[in-house]
Amino acid sequence: MEKRDEKVNLKNGEIQIEASKYEPFGDEHITREIKLPSSYGKDRLVAMVRDPWWIHAYWEITAQKEKAIRDEIERTGKHFEKAILRIYDITGVKDFDGKNANSFFDITLENMARNWYVDIGAPGKRLCVDIGIMTREGVFYLLARSNIVTTPRFGMSDILDAAWMLSEEEYWWLFGVSGGFGVGKSSMEMRELFQKQLKEWVSSGGMLFSLSSQMLAQKR
C-alpha cells in the first residue's frame, strides 16, 4: 500500500508515462483522480431486491423533467408540498397501470436523497415504485416509475406438487433436517426448531445458512 502512496506523491511532481509495452498507462492507472459523472441526464428510477423484506430504489431526475412538472403544478393552480416515493403492492395484478395496485404507501424524501432502502414489511410481494411530487392539494405528479420487482417468500411454500406429495409431518421433518438441525428429532420438534431458527434469523439479522462470506473476509 505504501508503494502506491509514494506514487501519489510522485504524481504531484511529474509523471513520466513510460511507453514500454507493459506500461500502458504508467503510474496514472491506479492513482489518478477519477471523477465519475454525478448524473447521466436521464430520468430513471430503478428498484432492486435486497431481501424478502427490503427493496432498494435509486433515481435520477433531470432538471428539465422536474421543471416541467413544477410548471404544470403551477399552471393548474396547485402547490408543491414534497417529493415522495410511492410503493405499490401489485402482487397478482396484471398490467399495472398506476391505478390498479392492491395498495400503496408513501415515503417523504428528504432533500437531496438519491436512493432509499424501503422496508416492505412482508415477504413475497410484487412491487413497483414511483417517484413524484405531492401537492398541498393532495394530487400526485409522477416523475418516474421503476421496473417491477418481486421479493422472495420467506419459508416453505404453500403450494404442493400433486405428483410429489408428502404429509405435512414429513415436510417438516425434511425441512428440519435440510436446515441442519441434526438428525433423530421428531417432526414436531423439527417444526418448532425450524420456526424458531427462522425467527432468530430475522430478528438478529444473523444467518442461518450462510457462513462463507465471513470466511472470505478473513481470506482477503
Partner 1 sequence: MEKGYLAFVLHAHLPFVRHPEHDSFLEESWFYEGITETYIPLIKMLDSLIDEGVDFGLTISLSPTLIAMMEDELLNNRYRKKLEGLLELSYKEIERTKFDPRLNNLAKMYNNIFKESLHIYVDKYHCRLMNAFKKFDASGKVEIMICAGTHGFLPNMEMYPQAVRGQVKIAVDTYRRIFGHSPKGMWLPECGYYPGLDNILKEFAVRFFILDTHGILFAEPRPRFGVYNPYYCKSGVAAYGRDIESSKAVWSAVEGYPGDFSYREFYRDIGYDLEYDYVKPYLNCGTGRMNTGIKYHKITGRTDHKELYDPEAARQTAASHAGNFMFNREKQIEYLFAKLGRKPMIIAPYDAELYGHWWFEGIDWLNFVIRKTCYDQKVFKLITPPEYLKKYDKFQVITPSFSSWGWKGYSEVWLEGSNDWINPHLHMLIERMSELANRFPRAEGDLEKALNHLVRELLLAQSSDWPFMMKTNIFTDYACQRVKDHIDRFNTLYDMIKGNRIDMNWLNRRMQQYNLFPEADYRVYKTE
CB 106 within 8 A of CB 134: yes
Least CB distance from residue 167 to partner 1, whole Å?
Answer: 12
> What are 31's three cell numbers?
492513482
Q: Which is nearer to partner 1, 80 or 201 (CB)?
A: 201
Q: Which is nearer to partner 1, 23 or 137 (CB)?
A: 23
Q: Which is nearer to partner 1, 113 or 139 (CB)?
A: 113
Least CB distance from residue 135 to partner 1, whole Å?
Answer: 28
- The number of angstroms, rounded, from the C-alpha of 159 to the middle of its chain's C-alpha atoms is 27
Determine the straight-line distance between the first and last CA of the chain, rounded to whole angstroms: 14
Least CB distance from residue 192 to partner 1, whole Å?
Answer: 17
Q: Which is nearer to partner 1, 71 or 122 (CB)?
A: 122
CB 96 within 8 A of CB 88: yes
Least CB distance from residue 108 to partner 1, whole Å?
Answer: 20
Q: Report which secondary-structure segment, H or E, holds 199.
A: helix 187-204
CB atoms within 10 A of CB 187: 19
> What are 23's three cell numbers?
506500461
